[in-house]
Amino acid sequence: MENTVIDQINQLEDEKQQLIGKAREEAMSTITRSLETLSELGYHYRLVAKKKSAPKRKPVKKEVTATVQENSEAIPTSFATNTVEA
The tens-digit pLDDT sequence of the chain (86 residues) is 577 999 999 999 999 999 999 999 999 999 999 999 999 999 999 888 888 777 776 677 777 778 777 877 766 666 555 555 54
In a domain, 86, yes or no: no
Q: Rounded to 5 degrees, what angle do the CA atoms 32, 38, 42 make?
A: 140
Question: What is the pLDDT at residue 68?
Answer: 77
Number of domains in the chain: 1
63 vs 77: CA distance, rounded Å: 21
In a domain, 85, yes or no: no
Question: What is the pLDDT at residue 3?
Answer: 79
In a domain, 56, yes or no: yes
Q: Whole domain around residue 21: which residue ranges?
A: 5-80
Q: What is the dihedral of CA 35, 40, 41, 45, to 10 degrees?
A: 30
Question: What is the pLDDT at residue 60?
Answer: 74
Inter-residue contact 27 to 33 (CB < 8 Å): no
